[in-house]
Amino acid sequence: MIKVFQWGLGAMGGGMARLVRERPGLVLVGAFDRRVEFQGRDLGEVAAFGGRCGVCVCSDPLAELQKCKPDVTLLATGSYVKDVYADLKCILNAGSNCITIAEEMAYAWQSHPQEAHDLDALAHRRGITLLGTGVNPGFVLDALVVMLSGVCGRVDSIFASRVNDLSPFGPTVMRTQGVGATPEAFAAGLENGTIVGHIGFRQSMDMMAAALGWMLDDIQEERQPIISRTQRIAPHVRVEPGQVAGCRHMARGLCSGKVVIELEHPQQVCPEAENMATGDMIRIQGDPSIEMHIHPEIPGGKATVNLAVNMIPAVAAARPGLLSMLELPIPRMTQG
Ligand code: NAD
């Protein structure tokens, strides 16, 4: 049995806890969320298992990690290295392998070299593995592209697009995408950094460039509001006509002045409300050129939960260090 600790019990963390509980070979041994109203309660009640499970949501994660000694901790709390760095160090110091879905941890070597080296060194000292993953970054617009390039003799350029439904995500994602904002508040949010669109283009670009042996000399990003013409109601947000339903975010990676990677990610809640078809598309120009379409899009919430849990056995068995999806075995659904 692989012992699992769930750190963060929001939309993603709650789903991970439910899936871990169902998987033979995995056992939940502890959980933490900074929300005081969760602490001291049975995890089964907090994460909607449909009954109690005998695991209490703790208020002191370090003490709890030291007590229950998990093999793998799933961290589903925030997006940025600055927000998860201290918690990652606590998890690694407690001797637990860790899988985080923080977007900036999917490939932090170029964007946060100091933190990446510190975490890598700590993981090596403790003989444990730290993996950043998730549907995107971590899979659709990077690892999957890299895998497709494996049948190419030459890659000249990459274009990949993900048109997705943000509805299943929690309040953190709604806020950072500007969902429900007025166009004016969206513009102000972009200006003051509270609205950021998709987090992780930089990490996806860096991961693909590293895999393909490209040196990117510039990454350019552009964000536009997607204004709703209809009312849209998602579990964590309500959007009125004229308000922002999401963010059209684009990024270009340049090599010697030439665009070699182009990523496009219009994300919104309830795209079906305006007959918008969702899907993932990857086009590699090279020898041979490859074009792959997935319709509808791989569902982000479910995919992130499933991928994080599916990576548990691989992470438990991996070599020590800070790893990315490039270094682990091909992801797979692992039943037991
Ligand atoms: P959410 O807002 O629903 O839940 C976050 C939970 O974490 C909340 O319960 C909050 O109380 C808790 N939390 C925050 N900081 C904490 C801390 N330091 N210690 C303990 N608990 C803490 O968000 P979500 O939809 O579950 O997503 C979680 C994070 O994962 C977000 O930052 C999101 O952007 C990211 N994410 C990444 C991917 C990916 O593909 N890599 C996919 C989905 C979500």
Q: 308 to each of 122, 229, 267, how far by Cα in Å? A: 22, 35, 21
Task: Determine the distance separating the centroid of ligand 1 and the alpha carbon of 12, expressed in angstroms.
Answer: 7
Nearest to 192 by CA among 171, 178, 202: 178
Residue of 142, 169, 196 to test ligand 1 pocket, by largest number of atoms within 8 Å of CB: 169
User: Worst-scoring range by mean pLDDT, 164-168, 213-217, 219-223, 236-240?
Assistant: 164-168
- Sorted by sequence, the CB contacts under 8 Å of residue 21 that are 6+ apart come out as 28, 49, 53
Which residue(s) pair with 238 in the sheet? 233
* pTM: predicted TM-score of the whole model, two decimal places: 0.95
Residue 335 has pLDDT above 80, yes or no: no
Residue 169 has pLDDT above 90, yes or no: no
Nearest to 54 by CA among 87, 71, 30, 32: 30
- DSSP symbol at 135: S
Residue 336 pLDDT: 60
Ligand 1 interacting residues, C-beta cut-off 6 A: 7-13, 32-35, 76-79, 87, 101, 103, 106, 134-138, 169-173, 304
pLDDT tens-place string over residues 178-226: 999 999 999 999 999 999 999 999 999 999 999 999 999 999 999 999 9
Ligand 1 atom nearest 136 alpha carbon: 40
Residue of 7, 18, 33 to test ligand 1 pocket, by largest number of atoms within 8 Å of CB: 33
End-to-end Cα separation, the chain, in angstroms: 9
The full DSSP string for 213-242 is T---SEEEEEEEEEE-SS-EEETTEEE-TT
- Angle at which helices 11-22 and 300-310 pack, to 10 degrees? 50
Cis peptide before 296 (omega within 30 of 0): yes
Ligand 1 atom nearest 133 alpha carbon: 41
Q: What percent of the chain has pLDDT over 70?
A: 100
